[in-house]
Structure 1
Amino acid sequence: MVDVEEKSQEVEYVDPTVNRVPNYEVSEKAFLLTQSKVSIEQRKEAAEFVLAKIKEEEMAPYYKYLCEEYLVNNGQSDLEHDEKSDSLNEWIKFDQELYNELCKKNESKIKELNEKIQKLEEDDEGELEQAQAWINLGEYYAQIGDKDNAEKTLGKSLSKAISTGAKIDVMLTIARLGFFYNDQLYVKEKLEAVNSMIEKGGDWERRNRYKTYYGIHCLAVRNFKEAAKLLVDSLATFTSIELTSYESIATYASVTGLFTLERTDLKSKVIDSPELLSLISTTAALQSISSLTISLYASDYASYFPYLLETYANVLIPCKYLNRHADFFVREMRRKVYAQLLESYKTLSLKSMASAFGVSVAFLDNDLGKFIPNKQLNCVIDRVNGIVETNRPDNKNAQYHLLVKQGDGLLTKLQKYGAAVRLTGSDRV
């Protein structure tokens, strides 16, 4: 709870409008430039988009970072030579004249905003006006991609006597800087601060936005179970358009839902979700992951691997949050579908199993061998007879041991309780 005296001194609000800074689309498109598995056409289109936004939003600091650090350190060399296209250096190259022009615009705007802050402080204007002026300057730094100055300047507004809600908005803007640069350690730190503020007095709208932010963070760090819980819930209440698009949230919810949910929840929360169904026809990535989800649920094994490869290419690789988890996702989804099929059989021939998936016996034999030794699949391969034998754990035996363990725990608690009661009785005597 916020201290009563402190709360009475807070300014009720600053401008509640949530500005889309920094522009998440710039970051997402820039990521595509580093991916050699993405088509040349997509990368060229992404380069044009990024350059246009850099000019439109006067992003001098980001332009310099993009050309001199990001593209150099994140795979540009894989893209520089292609017989079918120009070099990436021809699409995005550092233009000193453009950079100087953008810097002049930045200097002019920053000077204007600083002068406004100085005037407000000299005129001894209220905390509200001063806080809003600092936020305006901080958001401009965020817009142009100047992370350090944005965080420092937005932090100054937190020292003003603004409401908890306004402080949450500022911290979420700072967190978006981390998402923009895909610095998840930074994001984690800022979201922890946001969560602490929300516990002191965040309203429903800000709690809802925090849920989406934290869900995407969980997605990025491969905590798919928590991400599914948050992102699936966000589908009906999504408002965080400053962080990502609704189509992206729908795709993230589908990916994590498929990965973690049991059949019943998968059907009700993902396959039959009205929010997802309304977007499938217009969202290519969602079409791929939805087809994969339905093929698993319907046991359409012949279509499963083609849709898995399609999801890998159309959903996982182009996404800056999912890209690093792409191989892990594909591996685990292969294990999941093998386990589902084997669950219905005591023994199954390798030939019929390979035929069901539309792969060769050699491929299936090799792939199953990646999961069996570490007990990720409860089966063994009899190569002499060409069959797979399941060896499910003895559930009754496991239940018996669990019952004994729980009974021992209950007896221990009862003995402690009895001793405590006897001690209390002796004290009274």
Structure 2
Amino acid sequence: MAVAASACRVLLTVCVYMASLYESLGAGGVLETEAALLAEMRGRIEEEIRKLDEKIADAEENLGESEVREAHLAKSLYFIRVGEKEKALEQLKVTEGKTVAVGQKMDLVFHTLQIGFFYMDFDLISKSIDKAKKLFEEGGDWERKNRLKVYEGLYCMATRNFKKAASLFLDSISTFTTYELFPYDTFIFYTVLTSVISLDRVSLKAKVVDAPEILAVIGKVPHLSEFLNSLYNCQYKSFFAAFSGLTEQIKLDRYLQPHFRYYMREVRTVVYSQFLESYKSVTMEAMASAFGVTVDFIDLELSRFIAAGKLHCKIDKVAGVLETNRPDARNAFYQATIKQGDFLLNRIQKLSRVIDL
């Protein structure tokens, strides 16, 4: 349903007259645009840009290179504030051309990354991260390097590379300073969620469950402490209750929401695998009781995960028993080596025949 423009007037004023955002929301049917308000916003933006251009001209005529750079940077930041993506990126390039210090160039990359995350432009984010890493080869301080880990971790999480995201987040727990992206409790929220589906139980205990930085904050996020500790302590009824409490927060998160269904499956795979790890066989009734659900629910759930190759077990429906058949990792590696070796020998034989001819 469209929202009246007058109801958004205060919000848009706080947003420093983001005319581009206002137009895009109107085009998307989110709110009703008001021509007079849009014209007022455009006028204010043009007036501010005129003032910034005057400062740039004055700096170029009367001041030094440092002042010229600062004037161009101020114009870049203003374009970011008013939501002018393309103009902001163009102005950042101009500012970079007047920047010598590696640290200052890194700060410009961070501004570009913020634009990329705001618009969810993953191509821009990926290129900016690669650029930042190249700048670090020229020299860079640890504070900015640690900040980059959080940016890259957020990019990995937003593109469903949860394992790498967890690793980068865990490396940044004690050095987190990236408050321009999100507060520390949100960072801990992301760290716990990505770690649960990425780390084995021993690593989870050492790096997450017992981490003092996480213990100091985890209680501020509803259901997160119960979610983590009930999983580690094998309290599966409590785990499912806490997980259901977190689902709404995951759905509302702009980075996690696109992967909601995938994350739900991965978490359930982890918890079912952990439960079955202790058994050679177990009754369906016992498992259903442990999770606080019905036998029919467990039967339907496990059959899907078994068919998808996520769980290594089979269901004896007649006896009402689950039998695990965990693969032997060493034997599986041996079989894969034999298969690849046969493939390589065949390729060599074909090549030798071609050479003989």
- TM-score norm. by structure 2 comes to 0.87
Compare relative contact order (CA 8 Å, sep 6+) and give the higher one, 1 or 2. Answer: 1
TM-aligned CA deviation for residue 396 of structure 1: 5.8
Q: How many residues align?
A: 337
Amino acid at match of 1:174: T
Deviation string, structure 1 residues 271-319 (Cα, Å, up to 9, x no partner):
22222222233x3xx33233211111111011222222211112x1111
Amino acid at match of 2:158: A
SS in structure 2 opposite 1:340?
Answer: helix
From 161, 168, 192, the equivalent of 1:230 is 168
Asked if the contact 2:281–2:321 (Cα under 8 Å) also holds between the matched residues in 1, the reply is yes
Label 1:306 to 1:51 Cα distance change in 2 as closer, same or farther (>3 A): farther
Aligned counterparts, 1:93-112, within 5 A: 93-112=32-51
Asked if the contact 1:135–1:157 (Cα under 8 Å) also holds between the matched residues in 2, the reply is yes
Say whether 1:64 aligns with 2:2.
Answer: no
Say whether 1:245 aligns with 2:179.
Answer: no
- Tell me, in whole angstroms, the C-alpha distance in 1 between the residues paired with 2:328 and 2:161: 30
List runs of 5+ in structure 1 lacking aligned partners.
1-32, 35-42, 77-88, 409-429
Say whether 1:372 aligns with 2:306.
Answer: yes
Amino acid at match of 2:217: L
Asked if the contact 2:23–2:33 (Cα under 8 Å) also holds between the matched residues in 1, the reply is no
The residue number in structure 2 matching 1:134 is: 72
The residue number in structure 2 matching 1:320 is: 254
TM-aligned CA deviation for residue 54 of structure 1: 2.6
SS in structure 2 opposite 1:291?
Answer: helix
Asked if the contact 1:350–1:386 (Cα under 8 Å) also holds between the matched residues in 2, the reply is yes
SS in structure 2 opposite 1:287?
Answer: coil
From 52, 65, 72, the equivalent of 1:113 is 52
TM-aligned CA deviation for residue 342 of structure 1: 0.9
From 288, 297, 317, the equivalent of 2:223 is 288
Deviation string, structure 1 residues 187-210 (Cα, Å, up to 9, x no partner):
111121111112211111111111
Label 1:113 to 1:51 Cα distance change in 2 as closer, same or farther (>3 A): same
SS in structure 2 opposite 1:222?
Answer: coil
From 94, 113, 124, the equivalent of 1:156 is 94
C-alpha RMSD of the superposition: 2.5
Label 1:111 to 1:94 Cα distance change in 2 as closer, same or farther (>3 A): same
Amino acid at match of 1:374: A
- Tell me, in whole angstroms, the C-alpha distance in 1 between the residues paired with 2:91 and 2:258: 32
Asked if the contact 1:308–1:330 (Cα under 8 Å) also holds between the matched residues in 2, the reply is no
Amino acid at match of 1:95: E
The residue number in structure 1 matching 2:266 is: 332
Amino acid at match of 2:65: E
From 223, 246, 260, the equivalent of 1:311 is 246
- Tell me, in whole angstroms, the C-alpha distance in 1 between the residues paired with 2:175 and 2:314: 46
TM-aligned CA deviation for residue 376 of structure 1: 1.5
From 126, 145, 152, the equivalent of 1:188 is 126
The residue number in structure 1 matching 2:201 is: 263
Greater Cα shift, 52-61 or 206-215: 52-61
TM-aligned CA deviation for residue 166 of structure 1: 0.6
Say whether 1:354 aligns with 2:288.
Answer: yes
Asked if the contact 2:218–2:224 (Cα under 8 Å) also holds between the matched residues in 1, the reply is no
SS in structure 2 opposite 1:364?
Answer: helix
Asked if the contact 1:291–1:307 (Cα under 8 Å) also holds between the matched residues in 2, the reply is yes
Asked if the contact 1:218–1:226 (Cα under 8 Å) also holds between the matched residues in 2, the reply is yes
- Tell me, in whole angstroms, the C-alpha distance in 1 between the residues paired with 2:82 and 2:274: 49
The residue number in structure 2 matching 1:54 is: 12
- Tell me, in whole angstroms, the C-alpha distance in 1 between the residues paired with 2:215 and 2:9: 34
Greater Cα shift, 387-396 or 293-302: 387-396
From 315, 324, 328, the equivalent of 1:381 is 315
TM-aligned CA deviation for residue 161 of structure 1: 4.3
